[in-house]
């Protein structure tokens, strides 16, 4: 039985599945239900400074895109930080932490970018017994217009400054939550590290307009005829999040910096992928908002069963295992040659591979063979691009098969070279030519 | 009255039972159901379903249009190929056409519900009275169409779109042909056949003359003399005889007449049916008659077919439908003699059959099935009349690949030609293609001829 216990910057939880700071963690009622369902930890919905709380819109706050059968693929929201009184939140946090001492409870915080503001709130949070704090430098809507959230997260100097204040004024571990609405995610991560952060968490939501109401010509969600960009999340953002996590995990300047992975995690498999790319644990929101808290049971059993089947005993066995295999394009082996192969027994003859290849790629898949509808890869045309694999509706029907070194690549007429060779030394690369001269 | 009284009687059921029994077999998909069903389509390239459709409807495209919330555009995709796509969606044996070849069968043994999706889209267009075609400028050409069934209507519509004036001669009281008279009631509820006729005719330029029968009221030569082209789409008016003694007794009925009577009856309770009904035949007509006899309250309905299950023309789906309604299907039985009591049908003597040396042969073993009503459903025949010297092939009108007959400027299509399958959708395809051929002929005639050296 795999050990799923998680120790993230000293914060212990029975499993690596935390609920991200968001509507599901806004009050004791929800968090109690989450812990009962089995969540390892929660990041309480972002607290603001003392005084009258923020207000939310009273119209729709969420928009979505859907796949087949209205399966939710992407969600966006224009909700702000908690709109409840600071002390109400703090009182509830303290009670919940007392009720659930084995679970992680993290306070997400967003106050104005002034030292006094941070200095004032940190002792209040510390007093709840929270296990750590997460600095919300990511919220892309509303709060950013007031100089907080993503407005801070987009300026590395501010990140470093605020992290430094937090490390100075609290003993709690500091997790810095990053916005993806930036060109190079490594810059804010490096700044957070420079400020002394214990960890980063990412990604926060992505600036987005999910759809346009074509009757009213206004973005969705439409509030009284107008809309604004919201924060995008859910399964659709996972690839963006994975890349950003990997970028930080493999950056020499931030290598080893603990990462809490966030972004579209819906199943145990998604979670395992984040862990493999260097995340120490994961945070989930949209999946819970779509299906309820019970999904964590699938995540726990799925991760555990997969680890058992592969012989991984603890999270340490898998965390970061894929990081060494993330590289730059220029280091990919140009002598690795693969061809698509269609399993004729599995093929249902929909023709999608053919038309995708024929219309948009390399004209390497037949439509007819001897006058009969038959889809087969022409190896002398196949560049191994993988498009057919991706458009095929049948799993494992089309696979990419690597050519053994020494065999003939029918497309190029050359024998497959067993040696690794990449673009840096390729004769077509001007830089390589220059170096040789 | 009830189902147990012997003899042939009307009103065997309570009024609500009639309503339930003759309601829509496959109710229209609602919007959500349609989206879910449409999502299953893979949008195949050179899709097998499209190839299997006799009218070559672009099925992946119309389903994609449904899935993107454009049922009206979807209906146009359907009507472009098949103006009677609404009825075909209801009556096509999709399980042996488009749905049989759906690639989903390979993986899941369950095809995309193409027929029901087609009905969904066409219903939206017809219900909202959305029309997609306008007549071209009038050409001044006049074309006669004989028969207002699927072939004739499809032909007339396409000719009208091209700007020709069309006169349709229809022997019966209403247009629609088998759609009106020959389809089981539960497959075309709410007078859909007439709604569809109205929809088709709304293009304009088509005049339907009812009550005029070829061979009785006019001849083919009358038409060729007065029109630029003629399309013959008469259908089959003859019914095969059982060849069994006593088949003219009261209580022995042509299944097609029974089906038509039921369709035309505003109140199904007025249609009489026997307590024990035997249907002779193995095609769709046999199934339609048997199922509806059961639905009218017959206590016991038996189909006797002289060959095995595999040879039945009725599709697997239709056979299952009959079984689910409580119809007994018996194979390898042929009629020998209708047995009478007091001048009325009392039963039928049947003989077991077998294949002997590749030939269907009676075994000599016989038995009697009690029956107070017998339906004949062993096929229909073409009864040529008023056609002059028009060439025939296997008892039906001979045509070439374009639908041209042996007589100049005369085309034919539908059940009156030999095509192999007597399907509504095949008739539509033939009527449509004949119209295209007529158009080409008329267009070529309008061009100055070019001498070729």
Which residue is listed with tokens 């041209």?
B404
Residues B150 and B164: their CA atoms lie apart, in Å, by: 19
Structure pTM?
Answer: 0.90
- Out of A255-264, B104-113, B437-446, pick the least confident: B437-446
A348 and chain B: CB distance < 8 Å anywhere?
yes
Euclidean distance between CA atoms B50 and B56, whole angstroms = 5
Contact (Cβ atoms closer than 8 angstroms) between residue B169 and residue B145: yes
DSSP letters, A19-72, are EPSSGGGSSHHHHHHHHHHT-SEEEEEEE--SSSPP---SS--EEEEE-GGG-E
**Ordered strands of the B276-280 beta sheet:** B252-254, B373-376, B276-280, B300-304, B328-330
CA distance A422 to B267: 82
**Number of cross-chain residue pairs from A and B with Cβ atoms under 8 Å apart:** 35
Residues A351, B39: C-beta atoms closer than 8 Å? no
**A71, A347, A348, A392: best to mutate for the B interface, most B CBs within 10 A:** A348
User: What are φ and ψ of residue A218, in 5° steps?
Assistant: -140, 150
Asked whether the predicted pLDDT for residue B285 surpasses 70, the reply is yes
Torsion angle of alpha carbons A316, A319, A321, A327, nearest 10°?
-150
pLDDT at B453: 45
Q: What is the pLDDT of residue B1?
A: 65
Of A70, A352, A394, the CB nearest to B107: A394
Tokens of B219: 């001849």
- Grade residue B102 by pLDDT with cuts at 50, 70 and 90: very high
Q: Do A350 and B45 touch (CB under 8 A)?
A: yes
From chain A residues 83-122, the ones with a CB under 8 A of any chain B CB are none
The pLDDT score that the predictor gives to residue A138 is: 84
- A residues 245-304 lying closer than 8 A (beta carbon) to B: none
Taking CB atoms and an 8 Å cutoff, what residues of chain B touch A373? Answer: 46, 48
CB contact under 8 A, B46 and A394: no
Of the candidates B35, B45, B103, the beta carbon closest to that of A348 is on: B103
Distance, in Å, from the CA atom of B17 to the CA atom of B298, rounded to the nearest integer, reads 13
To the nearest whole number, what is the mean pLDDT of chain A?
96
- A233 catalytic? Reply is no
Percent of chain B past pLDDT 90, that is, above it, reads 93
Which tens digit of pLDDT belongs to each residue from B224-274?
999 999 999 999 999 999 988 999 999 999 999 999 999 999 999 999 999
| Number of Cβ within a 10 Å radius of residue B398 | 15
Per DSSP, the three-state class of A137 is coil
Banded pLDDT at B450 (limits 50, 70, 90): low
Asked whether the predicted pLDDT for residue A311 surpasses 90, the reply is: yes
Work out whether strand B410-412 and strand B229-232 pair parallel, antiparallel, or are unpaired. Answer: parallel
- The Cα A263–Cα A178 span in angstroms is 12
d(CA B433, CA A94): 80
Kind and range of the H or E run holding B280: strand B276-280
B337's tokens: 């003699």
**pLDDT digit string, tens, across residues A397-432:** 999 999 999 999 999 999 999 999 999 999 999 988
**Catalytic residue among A113, A139, A233, A319, which?**
A139
With 90 as the cut, is the pLDDT of residue B451 above it? no
Residue recorded with tokens 């088509």: B206
Q: Indicate the average pLDDT of chain B.
A: 94
**Which residues of chain A lie closer than 8 angstroms to B42, CB-CB?**
350, 352, 393
The average pLDDT across B26-37 equals 93
CB pair distance less than 8 Å for B42 and A70: no
Considering only CB atoms, B103 lies closest to which of A69, A70, A349, namely A349
Inter-chain CB proximity A351 and B45 less than 8 Å = yes
Note whether A357 contacts B: Cβ–Cβ < 8 A. Answer: no
Judge: A350–B103 Cβ closer than 8 Å, yes or no: yes
Angle at A91 between CA A89 and CA A96, to 5 degrees: 90
Chain B CB contacts of A355 below 8 Å: 45-46
Chain B nearest C-alpha distance from A327 (Å): 35
Q: Which of residues 23-82 of A touch B (CB under 8 A)?
A: 68-70
pLDDT in tens, B420-446: 678 999 999 999 999 999 999 999 876
Do the bridges between strand A104-109 and strand A206-208 make them parallel or antiparallel, or are there none, so unpaired?
Answer: unpaired
Nearest-CB residue to A393 (from B36, B42, B45): B42
Mutate to test the interface with A, among B33, B37, B44 (most CBs of A within 10 A): B44
Residues of B in contact with A68 (CB under 8 A): 39
Chain A residues with CB-CB distance to B107 below 8 A: 348, 394
């Amino acid at each position: 039985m795999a050990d799923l216990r998680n120790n993230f910057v000293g914060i212990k939880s029975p499993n690596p599945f935390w609920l991200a700071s968001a509507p599901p963690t806004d009050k004791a009622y929800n968090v109690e239900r989450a812990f009962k369902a089995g969540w390892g930890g929660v990041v309480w919905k972002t607290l603001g400074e003392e005084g009258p709380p923020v207000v939310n819109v009273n119209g729709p706050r969420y928009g979505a895109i859907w796949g087949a059968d209205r399966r939710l693929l992407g969600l966006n929201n224009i909700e702000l930080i908690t709109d409840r009184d600071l002390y109400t939140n703090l009182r509830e946090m303290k009670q919940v932490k007392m009720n659930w001492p084995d679970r992680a409870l993290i306070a997400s915080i967003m106050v104005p970018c002034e030292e006094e503001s941070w200095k004032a709130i940190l002792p209040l949070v510390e007093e709840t017994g929270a296990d750590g704090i997460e600095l919300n430098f990511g919220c892309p809507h509303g709060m950013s217009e007031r100089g907080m959230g993503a407005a801070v997260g987009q300026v590395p100097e501010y990140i470093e400054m605020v992290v430094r204040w937090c490390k100075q004024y609290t003993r709690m571990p500091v997790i810095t939550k990053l916005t993806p609405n930036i060109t190079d995610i490594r810059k804010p991560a490096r700044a957070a590290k420079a400020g002394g952060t214990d960890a980063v968490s990412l990604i926060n939501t992505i600036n987005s307009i999910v759809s346009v109401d074509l009757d009213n010509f206004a973005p969705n969600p439409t509030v009284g005829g107008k809309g604004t960009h919201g924060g995008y999340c859910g399964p659709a953002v996972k690839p963006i999040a994975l890349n950003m996590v990997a970028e930080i995990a493999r950056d020499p300047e931030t290598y080893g910096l603990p990462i809490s992975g966030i972004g579209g995690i819906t199943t145990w498999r998604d979670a395992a992928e984040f862990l493999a790319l260097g995340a120490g644990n994961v945070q989930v929101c949209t999946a819970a908002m779509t299906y309820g808290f019970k999904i964590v049971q699938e995540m726990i059993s799925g991760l555990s069963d997969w680890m058992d089947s592969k012989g991984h005993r603890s999270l340490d066995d898998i965390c970061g295992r894929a990081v060494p295999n993330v590289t730059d394009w220029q280091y990919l082996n140009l002598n690795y040659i693969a061809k698509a192969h269609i399993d004729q027994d599995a093929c249902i003859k929909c023709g999608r591979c053919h038309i995708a290849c024929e219309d948009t790629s390399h004209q390497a898949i037949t439509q007819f063979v001897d006058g009969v509808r038959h889809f087969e890869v022409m190896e002398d045309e196949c560049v191994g691009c993988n498009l057919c694999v991706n458009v095929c509706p049948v799993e494992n029907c089309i696979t990419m098969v690597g050519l053994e070194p020494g065999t003939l690549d029918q497309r190029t007429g050359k024998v497959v070279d067993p040696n690794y060779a990449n673009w840096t030394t390729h004769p077509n690369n001007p830089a390589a030519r220059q170096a040789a001269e | 009255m009830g189902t147990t009284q012997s003899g042939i009687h009307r009103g065997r059921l309570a009024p609500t039972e009639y309503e339930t029994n003759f309601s829509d077999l496959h109710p229209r998909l609602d919007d959500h159901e349609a989206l879910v069903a449409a999502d299953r389509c893979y949008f195949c390239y050179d899709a097998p379903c499209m190839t299997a459709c006799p009218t070559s409807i672009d099925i992946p495209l119309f389903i994609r249009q449904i899935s993107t919330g454009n049922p009206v555009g979807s209906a146009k995709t359907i009507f472009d190929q098949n103006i009677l796509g609404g009825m075909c969606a209801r009556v096509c044996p999709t399980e042996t056409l488009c749905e049989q070849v759906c690639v989903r069968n390979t993986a899941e043994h369950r095809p995309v519900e193409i027929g029901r999706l087609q009905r969904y889209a066409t219903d939206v267009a017809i219900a909202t009275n959305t029309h997609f075609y306008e007549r071209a400028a009038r050409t001044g050409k006049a074309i006669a169409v004989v028969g207002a069934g699927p072939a004739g209507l499809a032909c007339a519509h396409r000719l009208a779109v091209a700007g020709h004036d069309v006169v349709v001669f229809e022997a019966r009281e209403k247009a629609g042909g088998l759609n009106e008279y020959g389809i089981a009631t539960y497959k075309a509820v709410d007078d859909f056949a007439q709604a569809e006729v109205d929809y088709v005719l709304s293009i304009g330029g088509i005049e339907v003359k009812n009550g005029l029968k070829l061979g009785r009221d006019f001849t083919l030569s009358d038409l060729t003399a007065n029109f630029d082209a003629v399309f013959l789409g008469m259908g089959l008016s003859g019914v095969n005889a059982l060849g069994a003694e006593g088949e003219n007794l009261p209580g022995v009925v042509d299944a097609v007449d029974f089906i038509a009577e039921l369709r035309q009856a505003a109140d199904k309770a007025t249609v009489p049916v026997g307590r024990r009904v035997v249907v002779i035949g193995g095609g769709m007509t046999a199934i339609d008659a048997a199922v509806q006899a059961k639905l009218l309250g017959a206590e016991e309905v038996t189909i006797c077919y002289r060959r095995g299950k595999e040879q039945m023309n009725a599709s697997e789906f239709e056979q299952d439908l009959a079984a689910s309604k409580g119809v007994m299907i018996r194979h390898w039985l042929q009629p020998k003699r209708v047995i009478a009591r007091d001048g009325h049908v009392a039963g039928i003597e049947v003989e077991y059959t077998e294949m002997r040396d590749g030939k269907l042969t009676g075994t000599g073993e016989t038995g009697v099935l009690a029956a107070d009503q017998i339906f004949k459903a062993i096929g229909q025949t073409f009864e040529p009349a008023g056609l002059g010297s028009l060439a025939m092939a296997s008892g039906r009108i001979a045509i070439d690949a374009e639908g041209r007959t042996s007589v100049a400027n005369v085309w034919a299509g539908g059940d009156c030609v030999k095509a192999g399958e007597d399907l509504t959708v095949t008739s539509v395809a033939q009527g449509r293609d004949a119209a295209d051929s007529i158009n080409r002929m008329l267009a070529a005639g309008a061009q100055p001829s070019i001498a070729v050296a």
